[in-house]
Structure 1
Amino acid sequence: MTDVYIKLSELEQVVTQLEAIITEFDNATSLSEELEKDIGDPFGESKLREEAQEFEERWDDKRGDLKDGLKGVKDHVDAVIKGVEDWDSETAIQLTGG
């Protein structure tokens, strides 16, 4: 097995980016509702708005699955960071005899 070296600051950046994506997914439903209102009924036709609404309803299910997966990855990366920080603190205490 090869060693992998990743800076904790890079992992923390990954967590921040994942949180931003998760937040974006949370806000997507309200944004899609705004889009549907903005589409309205051009030329007296509602077909475009209905198609956008149907697409959004299907995408909601997939977005939820993706969001759940991203939360799992974020939680895992958080746990790795905490584990390394705990190990580092415990090792420092042992090495200093404290």
Structure 2
Amino acid sequence: MSDEVLIPLASMAELDRALKDIVIEFEDAGSRTDPLLEAIGRPFGRTGLRDAADAFEGAWDDKRETLRNHLVELQERVEGVRDAWQQLDLDLQSSLEQNGG
């Protein structure tokens, strides 16, 4: 059994940044609906594909917002844990230095 505690702060920082990027992607996703519908157009004069894409986007909007909120909560928790471990590490280092350790 080891008496060391290894906290992967670099991995936690990387996860924090990745979650922030994903949240931004979710926030920006809704703004791409109109360009998508325009790109689909009306092939052969029909709107079925465009209508289906529009319906999917509308249904996905609410789900995307819920998922985005959960991702924000997760990102904030990861950031909080990482910050707390960093502060603890600094406090322990300072305590050791003050006590001649």
TM range (shorter): 0.7 to 0.9
When normalised by structure 2's length, the TM-score is: 0.85
Instruction: Give the share of equivalent positions with the same residue, in percent.
Output: 32
- Give the structure 2 partner of residue 35 of structure 1: 36
4+ aligned runs moved over 4 Å, structure 1: none
Structure 1 vs Structure 2 CA RMSD: 1.8
Closer, same or farther in 2 for the Cα pair 1:4/1:59, shift >3 Å? Answer: farther
When normalised by structure 1's length, the TM-score is: 0.88
Aligned residues: 96
Q: Which has the larger radius of gyration?
A: 2
- Give the structure 2 partner of residue 52 of structure 1: 53
**Unaligned ranges ≥5, structure 2:** none
1:11-30 to structure 2, matched below 5 A, reads: 11-30=12-31
Structure 2: which amino acid aligns with 1:50? D
**Unaligned ranges ≥5, structure 1:** none
Q: Which has the higher contact order (CA 8 A, sep 6+)?
A: 2
Q: Which shows bigger deviation, 53-62 or 86-95?
A: 86-95
